[in-house]
C-alpha cells in the first residue's frame, strides 16, 4: 500500500496532562499528527497514522486519539478507533493503525478525521489530521435501461464483437493511446492506460475523465483504438453506450482509415464519426464523415440527432453505422439521421470509404469544439460502453 503523507494546519497548543489552561512550557516537546491518503483495497487493510514529537523526550510522553466521521463513516468505511499512544523516552515518533474496510466500489474519495487530546509530558501541536480514502475499485454498477439492438440481422453475419465481459480490456482487440498532445483539437486531457481512467465492470467498458494534475495536464481520460487488431470494410456496426453530457465533455465513438499510419495523412485517410457529443448539448449527437477535397481542404458531411426526452446520460442508446460501397448511414436506436452518398456528397477529392477502417473510443475534455469545462462541470465524468458488434454481408 502506498501512503502519501501530508501535514494539516496546526491547532492551538493545549495543556499537558489533560487539565487546566494552556501550557507553554518550553521544556515540553510538541506532539503533531500527520494525515495520509491511501488507496482502498478489496479486503481490509490498515491506515498507519504517525505522531511526532518536536524533540526527543527525556521521559515517556503520551496522547489520546480518537477517530471522527466526515464523508467516511465508521462501521462502513473504517473501524472506529480510540486509545492512548505512548512514545517511550529517548524516541520522538510513534504510530497507531486504523482499519480500513475493504470495498471494490468505484466512488469519490472519502475522509475521516483523527483528533489528539490529553497530552502527558508534551503539548499539542497539530492535533487533528485527515485520513483520505481513494476509492479506485473496479466495481461500478449502473442502470442498464435503454435501447437494446438485436443480436442478428437478416442477410448479415456477426463478424466480430467485444461484449466487455472480462475483468480487463482485451489486448488482442485494443490499444491504449497515451499522450497529452491535444490530439490536434487543443484538448485539455492527458490520455492514460491507468485503471483510474479505464476499467471494466458488470459487462461495461468505462472511460472515466478526471480533474487532476497529471504529466502537466489538469485532466485525465482514456482513448483506445483497434488499429492492427480489428478493422473492417462495409457492414453494420452497433455500439451500445451511455454518455457524459457536462460542459466541456466530448465523448466519441468513431473510425479512421487504416492507411493513416502508412503514409496517408488525415483527412485523406477518411474519418467516420458514428457519434460525437458536445456536453453543452446533452440531448444531441452528431454523425459525420471527413475526407480530403481536391483543393487540399477537409471535406465534411454531417447531421445531428436530438432526443425528444431526456439526455444521453440517462439511459443506454445504440449508435449504428450501415456502410456499403456506395454510401454510409448513421443511426440512433435504429433511426437513420445521417445518410451520405459517396457520389452525391463527396463532390471533390478522393473517396476514402472503400478501404479498411479501425475503431477509436474516447472521452475528450475541452478542445476547440466543446470548449473548456465550466464551474458546473462535476468530475469524474464517465462513458459506459456495453458492447460493439460488427456484422458483415456475404
- CATH number for 214: 2.60.120.200
pTM of the model: 0.89
pLDDT for 57: 83
Question: Coil, helix or strand for 344?
Answer: helix
pLDDT for 26: 65
- Cβ atoms of 210 and 136 within 8 Å: the answer is no
Alpha helix (H) residue ranges in the chain: 342-345
Active site residue 163: no
- Cβ atoms of 242 and 146 within 8 Å: the answer is yes
- Considering the domain boundaries, does residue 144 fall inside one? no
Q: Which residues contact 324 (CB under 8 A, 6 or more apart)?
A: 234
Dist CA 263 CA 271 (whole Å): 15
Residue 61 Cα distances to 64, 89, 244, 288, angstroms: 11, 7, 54, 71
Closest CA to 384 of 250, 239, 189: 239
Phi, psi of 345, rounded to the nearest 5 degrees: -105, -20
pLDDT for 24: 55
DSSP assignment of 138-166, as one string?
SB------B----S--TT-EEEEEE---S
Long-range contacts of 344-349 (CB under 8 A, 24+ apart): 345/289, 345/301, 346/291, 346/299, 346/301, 348/293, 348/294, 348/295, 348/299, 349/291, 349/292, 349/293, 349/294, 349/299
- 118 with 257, same domain? no
Active site residue 208: no
pLDDT for 55: 94
Q: Among 134, 149, 181, which residue terminates a domain?
A: 134
- 233 with 334, same domain? yes
- 68 with 112, same domain? yes
Q: Nearest 5 degrees, angle CA 25-CA 30-CA 32?
A: 155
Query: Cis omega before residue 226 (within 30°)?
Result: no
Residue 273 Cα distances to 254, 255, 268, angstroms: 4, 6, 15
Per-residue pLDDT for the chain (394 aa), expressed as one digit of tens each?
Answer: 333 333 333 333 333 333 333 445 667 999 999 999 999 999 999 999 999 999 998 899 999 999 999 999 999 999 999 999 999 999 999 999 999 999 999 999 999 999 999 999 999 999 999 999 999 999 999 999 999 999 999 999 999 999 999 999 999 999 999 999 999 999 999 999 999 999 999 999 999 999 999 999 999 999 999 999 999 999 999 999 999 999 999 999 999 999 998 878 999 999 999 999 999 999 999 999 999 999 999 999 999 999 999 999 999 999 999 999 999 999 999 999 999 999 999 989 989 999 999 999 999 999 999 999 999 999 999 999 999 999 999 8
Question: Coil, helix or strand for 259?
Answer: helix
Domain containing residue 8: 4-134
- Considering the domain boundaries, does residue 15 fall inside one? yes
- Considering the domain boundaries, does residue 17 fall inside one? yes
Q: Among 134, 149, 179, which residue terminates a domain?
A: 134
- Cβ atoms of 125 and 32 within 8 Å: the answer is yes
- Considering the domain boundaries, does residue 149 fall inside one? no
Q: Structural domain tally of the chain?
A: 2
- 374 with 230, same domain? yes
- 224 with 179, same domain? yes
Phi, psi of 343, rounded to the nearest 5 degrees: -80, -35
CA atoms within 13 A on the CB side of 344: 6
Instruction: For residue 46, give the C-alpha cell.
Output: 490498515
Q: Of 128, 189, 230, 276, which residue is the catalytic one?
A: 276
CATH of the domain at 72: 2.60.40.2030
pLDDT for 263: 75
Question: Coil, helix or strand for 281?
Answer: coil
- 128 with 162, same domain? no
Q: Of 163, 189, 271, 298, which residue is the catalytic one?
A: 271
Amino acid at each position: 500500500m502506498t501512503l502519501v503523507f501530508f501535514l494539516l494546519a496546526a491547532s492551538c497548543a493545549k495543556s499537558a496532562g489533560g487539565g487546566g489552561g494552556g501550557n507553554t512550557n518550553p521544556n515540553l516537546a510538541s506532539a503533531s499528527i500527520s494525515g495520509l491518503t491511501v488507496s482502498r483495497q478489496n479486503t481490509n487493510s490498515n491506515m498507519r497514522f504517525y505522531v511526532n514529537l518536536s524533540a526527543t523526550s527525556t521521559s515517556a510522553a503520551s496522547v489520546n486519539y480518537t477517530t471522527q466521521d466526515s464523508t467516511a463513516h465508521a462501521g462502513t468505511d473504517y473501524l472506529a478507533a480510540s486509545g492512548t499512544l505512548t512514545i517511550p523516552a529517548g524516541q520522538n515518533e510513534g504510530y497507531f493503525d486504523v482499519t480500513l474496510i475493504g470495498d471494490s466500489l468505484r466512488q469519490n474519495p472519502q475522509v475521516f478525521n483523527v483528533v489528539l487530546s490529553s497530552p502527558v509530558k508534551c503539548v499539542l501541536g497539530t492535533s487533528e489530521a485527515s485520513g483520505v480514502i481513494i476509492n479506485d475499485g473496479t466495481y461500478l454498477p449502473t442502470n442498464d435501461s435503454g435501447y437494446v439492438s438485436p443480436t442478428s440481422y437478416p442477410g448479415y453475419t456477426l463478424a466480430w464483437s467485444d461484449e466487455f465481459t472480462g475483468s480487463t480490456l482485451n489486448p488482442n482487440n485494443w490499444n491504449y493511446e497515451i499522450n497529452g498532445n491535444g490530439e490536434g483539437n487543443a484538448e485539455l486531457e492527458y490520455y492514460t492506460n491507468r485503471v483510474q481512467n479505464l476499467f471494466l465492470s458488470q459487462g461495461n467498458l468505462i472511460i472515466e475523465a478526471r480533474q487532476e494534475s497529471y504529466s502537466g495536464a489538469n485532466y485525465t481520460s482514456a482513448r483506445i483504438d483497434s488499429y492492427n487488431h480489428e478493422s473492417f470494410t462495409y457492414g453494420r456496426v452497433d455500439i451500445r453506450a451511455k454518455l457524459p453530457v457536462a460542459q466541456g465533455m466530448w465523448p466519441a465513438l468513431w473510425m479512421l482509415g487504416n492507411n493513416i499510419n502508412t503514409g496517408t495523412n488525415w483527412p485523406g485517410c477518411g474519418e467516420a464519426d458514428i457519434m460525437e457529443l458536445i456536453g453543452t448539448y446533452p440531448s444531441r449527437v452528431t454523425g459525420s464523415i471527413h475526407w480530403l477535397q481536391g483543393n487540399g481542404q477537409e471535406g465534411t458531411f454531417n447531421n445531428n440527432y436530438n432526443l425528444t426526452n431526456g439526455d444521453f446520460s440517462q439511459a443506454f442508446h445504440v449508435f449504428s453505422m450501415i456502410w456499403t460501397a456506395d454510401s454510409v448511414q448513421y443511426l440512433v436506436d435504429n433511426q437513420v439521421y445521417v445518410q451520405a452518398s459517396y457520389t452525391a456528397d463527396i463532390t471533390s477529392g478522393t473517396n476514402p470509404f472503400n478501404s479498411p477502417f479501425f475503431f477509436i473510443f474516447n472521452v475528450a475534455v475541452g478542445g476547440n469544439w466543446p470548449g473548456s469545462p465550466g464551474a458546473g462541470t462535476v468530475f469524474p465524468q464517465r462513458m459506459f460502453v456495453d458492447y460493439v458488434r460488427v456484422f458483415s454481408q456475404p
